[in-house]
Every structure is written in C-alpha cells, then in structure tokens.
C-alpha cells in the first residue's frame, strides 16, 4: 500500500493542485475519518495500512492521474466503465453516487 499512498500524494499535488494538508482535509471529509500528517507518514513508511474506505478513496483520486502518467488518454465513457468495475454506484445519471463504506 505504500506505493498507493505515495501516488495519491503525487496525484493530489500534480493532478488536482492540492497540498498534502488539503488532500488530508479532503480525505477526512470524504471518509469521515480523522487523519493526521503523522498517520500519512506512517502509511508511506508501511508502518500501518489505511482503512478500506481510505484506500478506496485514494484509488478513486489516483486512478485518473495514474492513467495519464502511463500515457493513456481515457475518454469519459471509458472512465465510467472502469469505475463501475472497481466501485459500486447508486442512482442513475446526475443522481449517480459512489457507494462508500
């Protein structure tokens, strides 16, 4: 999981323009979990593993950046198909929401 944590931090900085502090704040908002800078450092070192909910959110945020880094230009319909293979959604169209734990 160390690599996903590192990639998430890079994606937040380079793809979304967030500092690590803003990325952590966003993660806390999305997951409802309290996360500290020191906890992220422990994840990066492999001392602890993030919860399933945090890992899912990290992957959600990192995947578009990672695909771009691999030189893959993914269209919105293609991204949608990828997303439905990895996450559960409720609702349709504009009402569609990603299910979180």
The domain segmentation of the chain, as residue ranges, is 2-98
CA distances from 18 to 25, 54, 63, 69 (A): 10, 17, 16, 18
| pLDDT < 50 regions, the chain | none
Cα 49 from Cα 73, distance rounded (Å): 31
- Give pLDDT, residue 96: 84
- Give pLDDT, residue 101: 59
Please write the tens of the pLDDT for every residue from 53-79.
999 999 999 999 999 999 999 998 999
pTM greater than the 0.85 cutoff: yes
């Amino acid at each position: 999981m160390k690599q996903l944590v590192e990639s998430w931090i890079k994606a937040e900085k380079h793809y979304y323009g967030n500092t690590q502090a803003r990325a952590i704040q966003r993660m806390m908002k999305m997951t409802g979990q309290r996360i500290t800078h020191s906890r992220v450092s422990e994840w990066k070192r492999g001392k602890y593993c993030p919860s399933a909910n945090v890992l899912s959110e990290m992957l959600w945020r990192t995947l578009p950046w990672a695909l771009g880094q691999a030189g893959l230009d993914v269209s919105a319909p293609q991204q949608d198909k990828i997303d439905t293979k990895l996450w559960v959604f409720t609702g349709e169209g504009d009402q569609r929401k990603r299910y979180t734990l």
